[in-house]
Structure 1
């Protein structure tokens, strides 16, 4: 069976991929296992050499990948060209620091039992890592997880969304084209393909909806394999009365509308202190009115449009429902508010007079909407921002950076940007983690980003090897009592207990 991939911009067929069945998944994973041992055994320097060569291939083929990506996602050209450079940055970071992150740890003895022992914590990769990715950033999300796993010594199989498999398949095919060992591959298909992957790999990294992530976590738990989840979000922006309103408005529009609002970390709701509310709203509407929505086509030098299409019709219906229900409940659309043109375009929309009874303020919209709510003060903004089952990221705007950081510490989110949006995504030394229903575990985070794909093995060696240890058989009264006195003397922290007087 095959899958037709259609452009969301006009519905035309832009490619066809295979719907790979569970038996094909199992066969592929078994083949990866056969090659993983030598990949791990070759050492970090050799793995980094291949990743750097792959980086060069990606950059050499960047335009081709971006054109394919644009055809299947409806992104404007400016956004279609963001993903390969991001993957290159991840390669550079982990290729440079990964060997240090994976170096054996040698803790010192903490007590008498291990004084004559050499202790090592060794980081060994999970043999095969499965990466399941969504349709919003198919290349970047696939590679940002695959790259550190490969450098850790794992083999990796990527399963992209059935809506956007073309660019990811092309990018991963470049691994073989660069001559690299067969430890990275791509499988295409519907949900059954992803389920079969969860049933066969040793570690699962999933990015997508909370509903699907919960199902994956349940199955992984049944198999007793580890997993990482980056799930949905309803990310708030807090605009305090001392904020730089021009910067805050520009950030709100880009943070909420970039990729047509289809980012887990999109600004999905905005709370503005009353004294600056009207001024802020006017600036946001002015910025949104300037946005150009349409299809860039295959132009590599046009940059004619700012906002593209939504990924599929189902997403259009979610956005439409959120906007229509809000307006029916008393909200106003100051600009936008409806689907437009052919394909899956939805106008960038600014909603006011919203409240927490509305789906647009409580459910993940994943579309080009900016609902803006007036609040009395920062305390109310924090309370409302935390009134959600999600906790992926958040944004605070205040000219007083220290105050902004104090507010950040009160927000229940895995990342908070102060006077910026999305910056944490590019801060690879910091963890990217969702709290509450926004995920489990983290990606990036310096050493964590590569060690998460490893099992830590404890190796203890005796420096001194007498015929028998004092604790070994046979048990004898004299030796046993002496051992008890010695250990008590070392363990106790006051003289009377050390001498056995208490």
Structure 2
């Protein structure tokens, strides 16, 4: 879910404006970077009590927060639209996703945080009890982008709070107001002072990294590298969800209408400003014309505009609009054709029409660089093998989709794609599957969000506690034993360790 590189340091207060209308959405007070250390120190103090409540105690607070989100959904979505220029259709997706994540986390947090018994590797070590404890990292820094100000701010923060961590959130400077509303909701739901929001750009983000024990970043690959470098200086662990150029493969036996509906929604949802949006499509030659016609039909029915009654809204700013315009213009100049859209409309607002591009290839930026706008380039291919090769011909590897009437065949294609998740006969669905990890390969990231219990445990340190089952057998290899006794012990250990390899090798 890509964000642009942070702007220079901000100070004082500013008016946040709707990119679709230019109207004021509200006022934001920027955080002085020097204050972040003090804010983080306060979180560390509060975190100890929060951890002490235990998993069940924290689950009760998270449950109250879920209820608050549901009760204030209209207010949150109104703010979303005001500061992003989203359509109401797109804005409506975020709060339900968070409530779903909260519902799952509440159910499993007790199990996730319970000490985990581990078996002995060898019978000789059966005299020991092995338990792995999960200890929360005190402060988790979350640096979130602008494209989903609710979901990206909290989908990781929820797991961290459930684990017993405090959360230091820095939202994008493009969308600061929604984060303040979410923090106020945490307080109104009875949450303790373990959730803080700091506002600003690069210098504030750096201060968050410098004062956190774990960093979760969602944004561009270029900025992700900088986050990783700064965190590495302190040996602080991090997780990065970065850019994508997600491919879709449409086989000759696919349900063409379904594939077309999916491609259009997957490409245009949130004006294409989604990390796992459909950014390029490879269609087998026998169904290419039919697929393109279905896509054009669907796109021509879309209504663009902010607020009620439209399908998708404005791009976040003129910088993002410029990237989309460049990709389309360069493709057209190189021989591509725009079957819909193709140029910015007149009037105000950072809008770009839904644009279907054909006669494209990998010499064009629209097929190789992340666009993050409402474009859908479609390429004809002669075989599934060619589609797989082209799909993997990318520095990115976030997610993908495969459409085929034969699910087994689609699965076989899926496991040949170099990415973190593949949806079969659907798009973006893996975002709803909180039991599965969502992580990118190659330059699309490091680590993963979600992943069942791992989505909570990732914010913890593991502590192994080894205790005796019996007093017998301790000290068999200590120095106070005779050399003969030590030799017998070593021989016994070797024989027992070799038993399975010898059986397996036969």
Which of 419, 432, 437 matches 2:443? Answer: 437
Normalised by the length of structure 1, the TM-score is 0.95
Alignment of 1:444-455 (within 5 A): 444-455=450-461
Distance in structure 2 (CA, Å) of the matches to 1:366 and 1:484: 61
Distance in structure 2 (CA, Å) of the matches to 1:491 and 1:193: 53
- Deviation, 1:181, is 1.1
- Deviation, 1:112, is 5.7
Which of 94, 97, 117 matches 1:106? Answer: 117
The reply to whether residue 11 of structure 1 matches residue 22 of structure 2 is yes
Moved more, 13-22 or 309-318: 13-22
Query: 1:491 corresponds to which residue?
Result: 497
User: How many residues end up aligned between the 2 structures?
Assistant: 491
Q: Is the 8 A contact 1:331 1:351 kept in 2?
A: yes
Alignment of 1:255-294 (within 5 A): 255-294=266-305
Query: 1:371 corresponds to which residue?
Result: 377
Structure 1: 5+ residue stretches without partners: 297-302, 497-502
Alignment of 1:301-316 (within 5 A): 303-316=308-321
Q: Is the 8 A contact 2:40 2:212 kept in 1?
A: yes
- Deviation, 1:12, is 2.5
Distance in structure 2 (CA, Å) of the matches to 1:442 and 1:11: 36
Change in Cα spacing, 1:404 to 1:468, as seen in structure 2 (3 Å) is closer
Query: 2:328 corresponds to which residue?
Result: 323
Q: Deviations over 1:306-348 (max 9, x none)?
A: 1200011100000000000110111111110112231100011
Change in Cα spacing, 1:117 to 1:320, as seen in structure 2 (3 Å) is same
- Deviation, 1:401, is 1.2
Change in Cα spacing, 1:485 to 1:242, as seen in structure 2 (3 Å) is closer
The reply to whether residue 386 of structure 1 matches residue 392 of structure 2 is yes
The reply to whether residue 147 of structure 1 matches residue 153 of structure 2 is no
Structure 2: 5+ residue stretches without partners: 1-11
Which of 206, 211, 217 matches 1:206? Answer: 217
Distance in structure 1 (CA, Å) of the matches to 2:155 and 2:463: 25
Q: Is the 8 A contact 2:241 2:440 kept in 1?
A: yes
- Deviation, 1:356, is 0.5
Query: 2:171 corresponds to which residue?
Result: 160
Query: 1:252 corresponds to which residue?
Result: 263
Query: 2:3 corresponds to which residue?
Result: none
Query: 2:343 corresponds to which residue?
Result: 338
Distance in structure 1 (CA, Å) of the matches to 2:181 and 2:125: 53
Change in Cα spacing, 1:103 to 1:494, as seen in structure 2 (3 Å) is closer
- Deviation, 1:267, is 0.3
Query: 2:91 corresponds to which residue?
Result: 80
- Deviation, 1:475, is 4.5
Q: Is the 8 A contact 1:339 1:347 kept in 2?
A: yes
Change in Cα spacing, 1:476 to 1:112, as seen in structure 2 (3 Å) is farther
The reply to whether residue 97 of structure 1 matches residue 108 of structure 2 is yes
Query: 2:418 corresponds to which residue?
Result: 412
Distance in structure 2 (CA, Å) of the matches to 1:279 and 1:382: 21
Change in Cα spacing, 1:156 to 1:282, as seen in structure 2 (3 Å) is same
Q: Is the 8 A contact 1:145 1:205 kept in 2?
A: yes
Change in Cα spacing, 1:109 to 1:295, as seen in structure 2 (3 Å) is closer
Query: 1:300 corresponds to which residue?
Result: none
Query: 1:499 corresponds to which residue?
Result: none
Distance in structure 1 (CA, Å) of the matches to 2:500 and 2:23: 80
Q: Deviations over 1:67-114 (max 9, x none)?
A: 000011111112112111111110100110121122211112223663
CA RMSD of aligned residues (A): 1.7
Query: 1:299 corresponds to which residue?
Result: none
- Deviation, 1:467, is 11
Query: 2:465 corresponds to which residue?
Result: 459
Name the SS for the 1:138 alignment partner. Answer: coil
Name the SS for the 1:493 alignment partner. Answer: helix
Query: 1:131 corresponds to which residue?
Result: 142
Moved more, 115-124 or 485-494: 485-494
Distance in structure 2 (CA, Å) of the matches to 1:484 and 1:162: 62
Name the SS for the 1:97 alignment partner. Answer: helix
Which of 391, 409, 424 matches 2:430? Answer: 424
Name the SS for the 1:148 alignment partner. Answer: helix
Distance in structure 2 (CA, Å) of the matches to 1:470 and 1:41: 39
Distance in structure 2 (CA, Å) of the matches to 1:89 and 1:438: 25
Q: Is the 8 A contact 1:203 1:227 kept in 2?
A: yes
Query: 1:59 corresponds to which residue?
Result: 70
Distance in structure 1 (CA, Å) of the matches to 2:23 and 2:98: 29
Normalised by the length of structure 2, the TM-score is 0.94
